[in-house]
Each structure stands twice: as structure tokens, then as C-alpha cells.
Amino acid sequence: MMVRLALASLMARALTVGMTILAIALSVALFLGVEMVRSGAKASFADTISGTDLIVGARAGSVQLLLYSVFRIGNATNNVTWKSYQDIAARPEVDWIVPISLGDSHRQFRVMGTTQAFFAHYKYRQGRSLVLSDGAIMDDLFDTVIGADVAATLGYRIDDPIIVAHGLASFAEHKDQPFRVAGILEKTGTPVDRTVIISMEAIEAIHVDWQGGAQVPGQSTPVDVIREMDLTPKAVTAALIGVESPLQTFALQRAINEYRAEPLLAILPGVALQELWGIVGIAETALFAVSAMVVVTALIGMMATIFSSLNERRREMAIFRAMGARPATIMSMLVIEAMLMAAIGALLGLLLLYIGLIIAQPILDSAFGLWLPIDAPSARELWAIVGVVCAGAIVSLVPAIRAYRMSIADGMMVKS
């Protein structure tokens, strides 16, 4: 009966109580949403590369190498010469090696030169391989395989022509060497979705007439001639390596890092990711703190609401006292009321979060390549809700103690 009366009492003050609950709901939705994006981003990053033991590139920061080679974020400061690449590839520890050549773009998407081995060895999300949804892996020099987002955004189908632009966000196009869409990959939720893949030779081919980052004026080698030329790459941006045995990973890493002919860097993707988390950790903590503070603010708002209701509820408290209720009972009623508000608010917040997730999921995916799965609430989220209810109880103690004092002073006689 007491809970029923508490609910009825809340209903009678529907407007202010509703506002308070809404504030709590929004704050909880924000808090859980931040948590979800955070863990989703982490999972999404961690799922992007799997099965690769080492990544090799020109010497730079390990996080930078990871970001540009796997996530297509930022740029390489330097390339690795073809000779060095071949030296590494020839080492006995190397089981497989896939070269990557970056630097050109098509519309808003990056172009990556690689070999057929990429499709065999690149793995994501616990060892899944790339699968073609349509067409075939590039066969001809001017064939491309495009990621799912590229195809979806630009509406490309098999055999459509593609003109690659020189550099990123550039107006200089490799107009003389148009490509053909040979294959379209299935969606992976990784940066591959937003990549145009061509062969290493093709990267060379489109740069035949270019020197020092600019097209040689008036020079345009016909495609037939290019096909006859030696298109062995001169450099690669990075390389993905699988080792024969995991035990050799560190030995190979050291050997590459101590390579004499050229300053190189070999990283373990997992370790570099950890380093990345270390860097973004502060921002993460700040985000967490801010969203937690929003919840605290909403709860303080609830405290203010209860405070302001106390005076008009003196009569109610006097009635309870006359019926034999102890001041402590009146105090606990206020705490129960606050917990009810916090619980309703928190559950509503969870509901808002799921509604928001259903709406935002495709937007986040297409805009940021961030796929947030819609799962049942985790234990962590349920604990957060329990935490909000407990915090609500603690916060409500302040007005409840005041009500306790008031009900002792008033007894059952209120002059009103």
C-alpha cells in the first residue's frame, strides 16, 4: 500500500515529477550512450585487424603507422623501398607478406595498392576473410575491387569506370588511365569498406607520367605502352606480415627495426592498439566524468524538486504522523519516492538509449564506420542503473532529513 500511495503521490505531481524523471532519463541515456560508443569504438578498432603479426613501415610512431596502414587515418611520412621490402619478404621467419601502397584517392575514398595476397591474408573480426559480394578480384592492370561503402555511396556496379585522383582531396586526376570496377566486397565494418583497392602495378602505371608529385606537361603515355612497361613498384607504404611461428615475431620485429639500409619500424598491431588506448584514455576518462556529472546534476535537480515539495506536503506528513507513522517512516517514504523516480528515470533512459541506437546505428556506421551492435543490456549497464537508484536514495536523504525534523516539530498539528 505504501508503494501504491507513493506512486499516487508522484502521479498527483505529474508535471514536476515528469520533468525530473525526464532529466534523469536523458542523463542516464547520455551516460550509457557514451559508454556504448566508447566500448563500441574500442571493439570496432580491435576488430579491424586480426591475424596479422607485424606491420612494417618507414620509421615513425607506432601508433601513426597503425593508424595510416590499417585505419587510413593520417599519412605516411615516408615510404619503404622495394628493395627493403624484398629483403624482408625473403627472410625465413616470414610466412606471408602483403604490400600496401597509399596516397591516391577516388572521391572521398582512399585508393590502396596491394597484391592478390591481401585478399588471402587480411583478416578482421577474429579471423574473418574478405568476401566478394559481386564480381571478382582484380585480374587486369586497370581493375579495382571496391569496398561496400564505396559501392553504396557512389552507386557503383561491376564494370563501371573509376578515375583515380592524385593525392588526397586533389583536383589532379589520373584521367588517362581509367579503371574498371571488377569486384565489390561485402560489408566488413572496417576501413576496407571505404577503400578502392588496385594492384601495386597499377599504382606504378598511373604514375608513369608523373614526376615529383606533378604530371609532366604534355606527356601522356598511351595505355598500350604502359602495359608493356616494367611496372615493378619502386616503394611501398607499409606491409602486413604473418610469421611462420608466433615465437619468431619478436626476433623478426627486432631484425626489421635494426635493418641497416633504411630506418624501418615493425609493430605488433595489438601492442600499438594498446598504446592508442593509452593516448585516448585521458579523453575517455574526461568524457566518462562529464557524463557522470550530468547524471549527478539530474539527481540534484530531483533533490531540489523534493525540497520544494516539502512545504506543501506538511499536511500530508501530519496525517501520516497522526496515523501513528514515525518520523523515520516519513523520511523513508521520501527516500522510496526518490528511488522510484530514479528507477523510472533510469529505465526510461535505457529505453531512450535503445531508441537512439536504432536511429543512430546506420548513421554512425556510414559516417564514421562505427558499428554499434544492439544487444540486451549488459551487466555493466544494469549496474549503472542500480548505481543511479542508489545515488538517488543518497541524494534524497538531504530533503528527507529535513522532513524528519519538520515532522518532529509539527507533530500532527499543522496550521495551514
Partner 1 sequence: MAETVLDIQNLAYRWRGPASFALTVPTFKVSKGETVLLLGESGSGKSTLLSLICGTILPDQGCVSIAGTDITTLSARARDKFRGEQIGVIFQQFNLLPFGSVADNIALPLRFAPARRSRVPDPMAQAAELCTALGLPEGVTKAKAAALSVGQQQRVAVARALIGQPPMIIADEPTSALDANSQTAFLELLFAQTQTYQTSLLMVSHDPRLGDRFDRVIRLDDIADVQRAAA
Residue numbers at the binding site for partner 1 (CB under 8 A)? 1-2, 4-5, 8-9, 11-12, 315-316, 318-329, 411-413, 416
Report in angstroms how near the CB of residue 355 gets to partner 1 at its nearest. Answer: 31
Helix (H, G, I), strand (E, B) or coil at 124: strand
How far is the CA of 231 from the CAs of 205, 228, 235, in angstroms? 6, 9, 11
User: CB under 8 Å to 206, separation ≥6 — which residues?
Assistant: 104, 164, 166, 174, 177
Nearer to partner 1, 267 or 318 (CB): 318
Nearer to partner 1, 272 or 318 (CB): 318
Q: Which amino acid is at 30?
A: L
Whose cell is 598511351? That residue is 222
Report in angstroms how near the CB of residue 308 gets to partner 1 at its nearest. Answer: 17
User: CB under 8 Å to 201, separation ≥6 — which residues?
Assistant: 141, 231, 232, 233
How far is the CA of 40 from the CAs of 43, 270, 303, 364, 369, in angstroms? 5, 17, 33, 11, 11
Nearer to partner 1, 110 or 321 (CB): 321
Nearer to partner 1, 126 or 416 (CB): 416
Nearer to partner 1, 329 or 361 (CB): 329
Nearer to partner 1, 315 or 380 (CB): 315
User: CB under 8 Å to 349, separation ≥6 — which residues?
Assistant: 24, 25, 26, 27, 28, 29, 31, 32
Q: How far apart are CA 126 and CA 112, in angstroms?
A: 23
Report in angstroms how near the CB of residue 301 gets to partner 1 at its nearest. Answer: 22
User: CB under 8 Å to 262, separation ≥6 — which residues?
Assistant: 58, 80, 81, 84
User: CB under 8 Å to 358, separation ≥6 — which residues?
Assistant: 374
Nearer to partner 1, 282 or 323 (CB): 323
The angle formed by the CA atoms of residues 234, 239 and 242, to the nearest 5 degrees, is 140
Region of residue 159 (left: phi > 0; alpha: psi -120 to 50; beta: else): left
Terminal-residue alpha carbon distance, the chain: 27
Nearer to partner 1, 8 or 169 (CB): 8
Report in angstroms how near the CB of residue 311 gets to partner 1 at its nearest. Answer: 14
| Under 8 Å between Cβ of 100 and 239 | yes
Report in angstroms how near the CB of residue 338 gets to partner 1 at its nearest. Answer: 17
Report in angstroms how near the CB of residue 318 gets to partner 1 at its nearest. Answer: 8
Nearer to partner 1, 12 or 379 (CB): 12
Report in angstroms how near the CB of residue 345 gets to partner 1 at its nearest. Answer: 20
Report in angstroms how near the CB of residue 4 gets to partner 1 at its nearest. Answer: 7
Beta bridge partners, 109, equal 106
Report in angstroms how near the CB of residue 403 gets to partner 1 at its nearest. Answer: 15
Nearer to partner 1, 328 or 363 (CB): 328
Report in angstroms how near the CB of residue 406 gets to partner 1 at its nearest. Answer: 13
In this structure, what are the phi and psi dihedrals at residue 184, rounded to the nearest 5 degrees?
Answer: -125, 130
- Dihedral sign, CA of 100, 105, 106, 107? positive
| Under 8 Å between Cβ of 164 and 207 | no
